[in-house]
Amino acid sequence: MKPAATLGEGARAGAHDAWRPGWLSLPVAALGVVLFYPLALMSAQAFTDPDGGPGLGRFIAIVRTGLFIGALFDTVRIAFTATALCVALGFTLAILIRFVPFVGARALSRLIDAYLAFPSFLVALSLTFLYGNAGIFAAARGASSASFLYGFWGVVLAEVSYYTPFVMRPLLAALDTLDHAQLEAAGSLGETPVGVLRRIVLPATLPALLAGASLCLLLTINEFGIILVMGVKDVVTLPMLIYGKAIEQFDYAGASVVALCNIALSLGLYFACRRLVDRLPT
Amino acid sequence: MISLIHAPASRRSLAALALALVIGVFGLPVLMLMLASVAGEWNGVFPSQLTVEHLRGAIAGDQRLTLWHSLATAVTATAVALALGAWGALAARRAPPGVQRLVDVVYFVPIALPSVSIGLALLVAFSRPPLLLNGTVTLVIVTHVVLITAYAYANAKAGLARLPAALEEMAGSLGATPHMVMLRITLPLLLPHLLAAAALGFSLSMGELGATIMLYPPRWATAPIEVFALTDRGSIFSGAAVGVVLLAGTFAALLMLDRKRFTAHLA
């Protein structure tokens, strides 16, 4: 890589409408070193036998453990449940905010934008004050039994609280571009509000809804901070398994195997969703 | 704005439902966090005693250091990511469509990857020669750069697509060198988009936990790490206080960067 030389050529060339490939070499080389080289090394490490040589031995041994299969199952179960609930809640809220005019509706959608800057693990922390063993609801009920928060539904609740805005954003944008004359016409022709929603609004916003849902699925599969900070014990997801193997057991090679599977799962599901979106009739 | 519901009564109850849902789902967690950060003792439904001790602790001593680490990491990583993202978008601007798609993939890969896996990959790669960065602050910053460069690239690319092309051509035909066109026309017009990217990258970096926890050196624990460490030890109110200060710092910085741009271009 010779960035200095390409820079000189660029300045001499004069015309600014021609593409000069040399300029790309610096950022691509930088990303190569800090992203693709690490990913390649991690993959290589996943495909080694326990004795150090290349092979599928370690990969197969880890993928067959009950811990891994359980984590894979929990990850998918949590992600799909949370995404389905995010879509339901996000759709309801987006419709209410756009179609039921009330004071502060615009400010509300601004607030939802700002919510995206909130780190996910803080949501998990604040939920422990609400629903945790010593939280408000436990105190109100006078209950001493362990809260649901530290299991499957607790994680789902935190993820729904955090990821619903990611579904709402594309939906709100799609609702803004809706042809209002069409809605008014349908209404004046006798269609009920529910009918308008089902026959006009839902089909028109379906691509945005699915785009939001696929992003939500990707993010919930890879979610880590929420589960870590909540101190969930009986649910282990793939990111938690990676963390446990690498940081608590110093088993980098084993963690690499789980990380590769996690990457394959999230990318596979994401692209499957995108293909579904692309196939929709527009 | 049109409305599907015409009866005032049902309109009012739906509006109330919307407000209740938003406040219950999004507002309540933020309120609880703030309340917890000033809770002295909390055995009943509400804290029986309020104190500023936790907040004071969060801006003093070790906890203040972790906030400073987060701030320094986020500012540095955002600056590097902006340069790297804008450079790539500018360099790929007039490339053939095939090359552009390839550059898109190269830049967008980190968005789709789990942050814990990115942290692990960087830990594995930089714990061995030729690049030994394990246990350095540089590795933390590099990790954050990897995680946020995609947003800088995306915003710069979107900004370039909206640039009035005639402006640059006109400057060129009036005798401005490509260098001058870049400095006087292209970059100033791109600035709002870069500021929006900076705001998003900065807030993501301030709240980053998954990749950082895989490779941070003990002397450079960031605020999210501190929140986890405190709550894991059972000091949940102190953890909440650090979280509140972290949020306040993030939003203060975002307001400084330009609030309008931030809300218009986020995501």
A58 touches A253 (CB < 8 A): yes
Residue B75 contacts A, CB cutoff 8 Å: no
- Strand duo B49-50 + B39-41: pairing: antiparallel
Domains of chain B with CATH codes = 54-265 (1.10.3720.10)
Q: What are the per-10-residue average pLDDT scores of chain B (267 residues)? A: 59 80 82 83 73 79 86 95 93 87 89 92 89 88 94 89 82 84 84 86 91 92 93 88 89 70 47
CA distances from A60 to A45, A48, A64, B120 (A): 13, 10, 6, 20
Residue type, B206: M
pLDDT at A102: 64
pLDDT(A15) > 90: no
> pLDDT tens digits for A122-146?
988 888 888 877 677 766 666 656 6
Nearest to B139 by CA among B156, B112, B154, B121: B121
Please state the separation of Cα A68 from the chain's center in Å. 21
Say which of B32, B142, B200 has its CB closest to residue A34.
Answer: B142
A110/B178 Cβ within 8 A: no
Touching check for B52 and chain A: CB below 8 Å?
no
A chain contacts of residue B15, beta-carbon cutoff 8 Å: 96, 100-102
Q: What is the ipTM of this complex?
A: 0.84
pLDDT, position A143: 60
Considering the domain delimited by A62-279, tell me its CATH architecture: Orthogonal Bundle (1.10)
In what helix (H) or strand (E) does residue B40 lie, and over which residues does it extend?
A: strand B39-41
Q: What is the mean pLDDT of residues A167-177?
A: 86
B178/A13 Cα distance (integer angstroms): 9
pLDDT at residue A11 in the model:
41
For residue A244, name the pLDDT band (cuts at 50, 70, 90).
very high
> pLDDT above 70 covers what percent of chain A?
86
What are the structural domain ranges in chain A?
A: 3-46, 62-279
CB A144 within 8 A of CB B59: no
Share of chain A above pLDDT 90, in %: 28
pLDDT tens figures, B24-65? 888 888 888 888 888 877 776 677 777 777 887 777 877 888
Across chain A, mean pLDDT equals 82
